[in-house]
Amino acid sequence: MTAIDESLRRLAEHADSEGLLDVAYANVDSPYGTLLVATTPRGIVRLSLPNYDPEEALEELAEKVSPRVLEAPARLERARRELDLYFEGKLSEFDLPVDWRLTTGFRGRVQRAIARIPYGRTRTYTEMARSAGNERAVRAAGTACGSNPIPIVVPCHRVLRSGGGLGGYGGGLPMKEALLKMEGIL
């Protein structure tokens, strides 16, 4: 670690203790590539998958949450540990506080319903539309899955088409398939 890295680490600590660390993020390795995980003092607010430009994800956080965005891996230790265990197949339920502020309205309701789908189980887009209070808004439920700001932790990969088709996935279909296989669904 160079001297400047050490100074930056200390800065993140000071910022945190002075309440200036509005968004802390870290890069987390996964079997699918590097994930970017971000948290606010309330909880995990964003997880961007390997095929999404991390710079873009950070810019969005700066715009929508706060420009005080700092790399602070120490603040994401717990999330990293749980993700590691999940990818090893040793964790079936995340115990992480979630900050829902990037989701609102119907999409927000769908995403909260997704968060309640248990490990190893699936739902259809229609079911998700129904649990969000509008059975006919299947397409909107699909969009809500696609715009999930915290995939994996909010397991939108467990939502499939009614006919059994995979549907879509922000991280690419191979990743969705692999996650479902890992959970023993496929």
The span of 13-21, 86-94, 110-118, 175-183 binding other proteins (CB under 8 A) equals 13-21
Active-site position among 38, 129, 144, 156: 156
Binding of other proteins by 16 (CB under 8 A): no
What distances in angstroms separate CA 8 from CA 53, 108, 121, 122, 136, one per listed residue?
A: 23, 35, 43, 43, 51
Tokens describing residue 45: 């607010």
Amino acid at 64: K
Residue 145: active-site member: no
Show the site string, 18-57: x = touches other proteins by CB under 8 A, - = not.
Answer: x-x--x-x--------------------------------
Residue 149, burial from CB neighbour count under 10 angstroms (0-12, 13-18, 19+):
buried
Q: If you search the block for the tokens 């989701």, which residue do you land on?
A: 103
Binding of other proteins by 63 (CB under 8 A): yes
CA 66 distance to own-chain centroid: 18
Binding of other proteins by 73 (CB under 8 A): no
Residue 132, burial from CB neighbour count under 10 angstroms (0-12, 13-18, 19+):
buried
Contact pick of 49, 61, 140, 150 for other proteins (by CB under 8 A): 61
Q: If you search the block for the tokens 């800065």, which residue do you land on?
A: 11
Tokens describing residue 97: 């506080």
The span of 12-20, 77-85, 108-116, 144-152 binding other proteins (CB under 8 A) equals 12-20
Contact pick of 30, 33, 59, 165 for other proteins (by CB under 8 A): 59
Contact pick of 42, 64, 81, 136 for other proteins (by CB under 8 A): 64
Binding of other proteins by 174 (CB under 8 A): no
CB of 56 to other proteins, least distance (A): 10
Which residue, among 64, 68, 34, 30, has the nearest Cα to 52 in the 3D structure? 34
Chain residues that interact with other proteins, rule: CB under 8 A: 3-4, 7-8, 10-11, 14-15, 18, 20, 23, 25, 58-64, 66-71
